[in-house]
């Protein structure tokens, strides 16, 4: 038995000395494949996992608490820090929840821009997934190629909103800016570039790659029943053969008008999910191509007209007294949504990102709950890791595509 003191500290692998020879190892929180701050306590029998316990909270910043202490507009930039790989999708999910609560709708041009940004963010996030997943499994070159394309996508985001990572590119009631001149052409050439690279680089490198298939096929198998029960959403659910995409089933923004397919895989394993991510990027490009001609047909209004909640455009504030007064009240006090509660789900690149907001008619949300897809996907790890080998643990974590900004909040 151990007697820990300052000179001989507690040796964690107590179990190793037990009869059954299992060994406890801490995977993370600083492990490069832990995708941030995941500490996974694994009990191993040889190389096989007997028990897995995901320990999270190393990146907890109390974002839900902060939401209760900020006005609705103040909180919006904080949502960038949830899923920081695709921040616009968080901004949008939050803005949509508040808009549903207020009962307003963004003007048409804002909707076009938002949908474009959402899909661009999906591509950014999926490229990041391919890059890090391949890196975790051992394919270094895919990482470099995917990050090259991701840079181009981030350049586009930078051209639009000035930020590359924490975009805050959406506002409650619309978008802050119109697209800069020439942006659509750049987006168009980016789409062709990614389409080409998808086929000739990523698919060529990975899809039929023997090592890649050996590492991914039949690894991390999640049955449809388990996926539903564990709260899996997004590619994790579709990878288990369930055709569920919120963009299609509960359409928001312009998704009801757009023509796109939802890829579904019934392989239930990591390889099926990898194929889904690739196919979703193709579909995102298809959506972007449909959106580009839509933009020029819209009126230039960018923010919804709701003087009680949303400031008037800058020109009106500068010329009209009443608009200035409204603006002053909204900036100093914040908007006061009606009493009520709302839960709005959106399809973020990782899965169902939903915001539950309880309003008591005050400028501060009474309670805000962020339903993050990665949080539930992390919970799933304790079940699917059992019985796998330690080399596959990295593949499975990579395949769940968890981001710790939104797991820990």
Q: Where do contacts with other proteins occur on this chain (CB under 8 A)?
A: 56-57, 60, 62, 64-66, 68-70, 100-101, 103, 226, 228-231, 233, 242, 244, 249-250, 333-334, 336, 338-343, 345, 352, 354, 356, 358, 360-364, 366-367, 369, 371, 375-376, 378-379, 383, 408-409
CB of 291 to other proteins, least distance (A): 24
Instruction: For other proteins, give the closer residue by CB, 165 or 262.
Output: 262
**CA neighbours closer than 13 Å in the CB half-sphere of residue 354:** 15
Contact call for residues 46 and 58 (beta carbons, < 8 A): no
Instruction: For other proteins, give the closer residue by CB, 313 or 379.
Output: 379
**CA neighbours closer than 13 Å in the CB half-sphere of residue 386:** 8
CB of 288 to other proteins, least distance (A): 25
Instruction: For other proteins, give the closer residue by CB, 144 or 325.
Output: 325
CB of 230 to other proteins, least distance (A): 5
Instruction: For other proteins, give the closer residue by CB, 17 or 249.
Output: 249
350's torsion region: left (phi>0), alpha (psi -120 to 50) or beta?
alpha
Place of tokens 């394993």: 269
CB of 60 to other proteins, least distance (A): 4
CB of 200 to other proteins, least distance (A): 36
97 by Cβ neighbours in 10 Å (0-12 / 13-18 / 19+) ranks as: buried
CB of 71 to other proteins, least distance (A): 8
- Is the Cα torsion angle 239, 354, 253, 80 positive or negative in sign? negative
CB of 56 to other proteins, least distance (A): 6
How many C-beta neighbours within 10 Å does residue 218 have? 14
Instruction: For other proteins, give the closer residue by CB, 59 or 205.
Output: 59
CB of 12 to other proteins, least distance (A): 15
143 by Cβ neighbours in 10 Å (0-12 / 13-18 / 19+) ranks as: middle
**Tokens matching residue 378:** 């992390």
CB of 61 to other proteins, least distance (A): 10
Instruction: For other proteins, give the closer residue by CB, 30 or 223.
Output: 223
Cα(392)–Cα(50) distance, integer angstroms: 13
Contact call for residues 365 and 400 (beta carbons, < 8 A): no
Instruction: For other proteins, give the closer residue by CB, 103 or 162.
Output: 103
**Tokens matching residue 305:** 């007209």
Helix (H) or strand (E) holding 356: strand 351-359
Instruction: For other proteins, give the closer residue by CB, 62 or 180.
Output: 62
Place of tokens 């995102």: 284
Instruction: For other proteins, give the closer residue by CB, 56 or 142.
Output: 56
Q: DSSP letters along 108-125, please?
A: HHHHHHHHHHHHHHHHHH
Cα(170)–Cα(304) distance, integer angstroms: 12
């Amino acid at each position: 038995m151990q007697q820990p003191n300052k000179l001989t500290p507690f040796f964690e692998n107590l179990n190793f000395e037990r009869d059954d020879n299992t060994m406890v190892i801490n995977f993370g929180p600083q492990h490069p494949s832990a995708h941030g701050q995941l500490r996974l306590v694994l009990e191993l029998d040889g190389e096989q996992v007997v028990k897995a316990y995901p320990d999270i909270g190393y990146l907890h910043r109390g974002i839900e608490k902060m939401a209760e202490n900020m006005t609705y507009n103040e909180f919006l930039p904080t949502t960038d820090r949830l899923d920081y790989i695709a921040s616009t999708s968080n901004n949008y999910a939050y803005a949509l929840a508040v808009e549903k609560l207020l009962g307003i709708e963004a003007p048409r041009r804002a909707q076009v821009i938002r949908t474009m940004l959402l899909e661009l963010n999906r591509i950014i996030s999926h490229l990041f997934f391919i890059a890090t997943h391949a890196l975790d499994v051992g394919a270094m070159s895919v990482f470099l190629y995917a990050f090259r394309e991701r840079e181009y996508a981030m350049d586009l985001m930078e051209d639009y909103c000035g930020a590359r990572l924490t975009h805050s590119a959406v506002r409650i009631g619309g978008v802050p800016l119109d697209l800069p001149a020439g942006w659509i052409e750049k987006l168009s050439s980016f789409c062709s570039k990614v389409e080409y690279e998808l086929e000739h680089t990523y698919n060529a490198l990975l899809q039929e790659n023997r090592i890649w298939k050996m590492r991914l096929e039949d690894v991390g198998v999640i049955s449809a029943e388990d996926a539903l029960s564990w709260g899996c959403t997004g590619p994790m659910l579709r990878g288990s053969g369930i055709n569920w995409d919120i963009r299609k089933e509960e359409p928001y923004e312009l998704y009801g008008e757009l023509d796109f397919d939802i890829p579904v895989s019934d392989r239930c394993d990591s390889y099926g999910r990898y194929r889904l991510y690739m196919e979703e990027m193709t579909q995102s490009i298809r959506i972007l191509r449909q959106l580009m001609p839509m933009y020029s047909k819209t009126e230039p209004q960018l923010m919804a007209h709701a003087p009680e909640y949303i400031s008037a455009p800058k020109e009106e504030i500068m010329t009209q007294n009443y608009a200035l007064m409204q603006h002053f009240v909204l900036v100093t006090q914040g908007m006061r949504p009606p009493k009520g509660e709302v839960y709005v789900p959106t399809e973020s690149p990782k899965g169902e990102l939903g915001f539950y907001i309880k309003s008591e008619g005050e400028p501060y949300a009474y309670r805000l709950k962020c339903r993050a897809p990665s949080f539930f996907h992390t919970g799933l790890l304790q079940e699917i890791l059992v019985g796998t080998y330690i080399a596959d643990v990295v593949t499975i974590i990579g395949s769940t595509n968890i981001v710790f900004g939104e797991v820990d909040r």
